[in-house]
Amino acid sequence: MTKNDDRARAGTRETYEKGARFYDLMIWLYYLAGMRIGLWRRKVIKALALRPGDTVVEIGCGTGLNFSLVEQVIGSEGRIIGVDISEAMLERAQKRVRNAGWKNVELVRCAAADYRFPRDLGGIFATGVLNYEPAYYQVIERGAKALARGRRWVILDYKLPKSWLRHLAPLFIFLGSGFGVSRDLMKRHPWESVQRHLRNIQMWELYGGFVYIITGESP
């Protein structure tokens, strides 16, 4: 890990420490900009093809907005491990877990690049996270090795569209600026690591190509 990478992570962590109390509200406000985030979350969880009893790792789980969708599939026999760099986001996730009465959620505070995945996972996913992680390619590779055979990594993130809509990037960046969205982060291509380390790849472009979901299976 380089010092620059650590500095970038510290900056992201600070952004989320400060923004945690507004996060869920901001997500609702994004709906007004046409972002159908609830639908995208459902698409991610469907793409994971989880089964009852699975152990699932969510990288950058934030306030736990995906947990209920996962719980509905894995049930009380399954297990969710939520990893996040921000203490304040995890405190909110912990509160959500307590209020829902889930006994099968473990929260881990660390950078994605420092996390050591347990073996034989039933699924790994990250929604709106990996562009922040400078070593995203390592995280994807390690995750791919930790999945049980045939199980899936699913990533939702943002990127520059190939079409003329890329000219609207300043507007997209403006909408996400409170959470550190930037043109530099848009130049990261986590989907290429998924294509490199997994097979049976499927990719969907959403929101005019600014958002994508990719899924791949462990070989």
Give residues in contact with ligand SAM (CB under 6 A): 9, 12, 16, 60-62, 65-66, 83-86, 89, 111-112, 127-129, 132-133, 179
Shortest distance in whole angstroms from residue 219 CB to ligand SAM: 25
**Closer to ligand SAM at the Cβ: 54 or 133?**
133
* DSSP bridge partners of 155: 126, 214
Shortest distance in whole angstroms from residue 149 CB to ligand SAM: 26
SS3 218: coil
- In degrees rounded to 5, what are phi and psi of residue 153? -100, 135
Shortest distance in whole angstroms from residue 140 CB to ligand SAM: 13
**Closer to ligand SAM at the Cβ: 37 or 147?**
37
C-alpha R_g of the chain: 16
Return the axis-axis angle of helices 87-100 and 67-74, rounded to nearest 10°: 50
- Residue at shortest CB range from ligand SAM: 62
**Closer to ligand SAM at the Cβ: 127 or 218?**
127
Shortest distance in whole angstroms from residue 94 CB to ligand SAM: 13
How many whole angstroms separate alpha carbon 157 and alpha carbon 77? 29
161's tokens = 């569209």
